[in-house]
Amino acid sequence: MPGPAPEPAPRARKGPPPPDFRNLGTLLRVILLAEGAGFVYHLARQGSLGGALLAMTNDAPMYQTALLGSLLLLFLASPWLMRLPFVVSAGLGSLLTALTGMATQAFFVDSLPELYRGRPLLTGFLATVLAALIYFYFHWRQLSLSPALSDARLMALQARIRPHFLFNSLNSVLGLMRQNPGQAETVLENLADLFRALMADTRALVPLERELELARAYVQVETLRLGERLRLAWHCDTAPGDALVPQLILQPLIENAVMHGVEPSPGGGEVHVNLFVRADRLLLVVRNPLAARSGPRGGNRIALANIRERLDLHFDAEGRMTHFVAGGEFVVQIEMPLRRGNTTSPVARVRGSPD
List of domains in the chain: 24-146 (no CATH), 161-337 (3.30.565.10)
Contact 302, 294 (CB under 8 A): no
Strands 269-277 and 244-246: unpaired
Residue 161 φ/ψ, nearest 5 degrees = -85, 80
* Nearest of 15, 40, 211, 58 to residue 130 by alpha carbon: 40
pTM value? 0.62
Collapsing DSSP to helix, strand or coil, 277 comes out as strand
Model pLDDT, residue 7: 43
The list of the chain residues with pLDDT below 70 reads: 1-16, 144-169, 171-172, 174-176, 178-180, 183, 197-204, 292-302, 342-355
Contact 269, 262 (CB under 8 A): yes
| C-alpha distances out from residue 278 to 89, 190, 247, Å | 32, 31, 21
Model pLDDT, residue 353: 45
Model pLDDT, residue 96: 92
Model pLDDT, residue 95: 92
What lies within 8 Å, CB to CB, of 156 at 6+ separation is 202, 248, 252, 302, 303, 306
Collapsing DSSP to helix, strand or coil, 204 comes out as coil
E strand or H helix at 7: none
Contact 248, 149 (CB under 8 A): no
Model pLDDT, residue 342: 58
| CA angle 305–288–215, rounded 5-degree value | 65
Q: What's the rounded Cα separation, in Å, for the pair 121 and 119? A: 6
Q: What's the rounded Cα separation, in Å, for the pair 241 and 210? A: 8
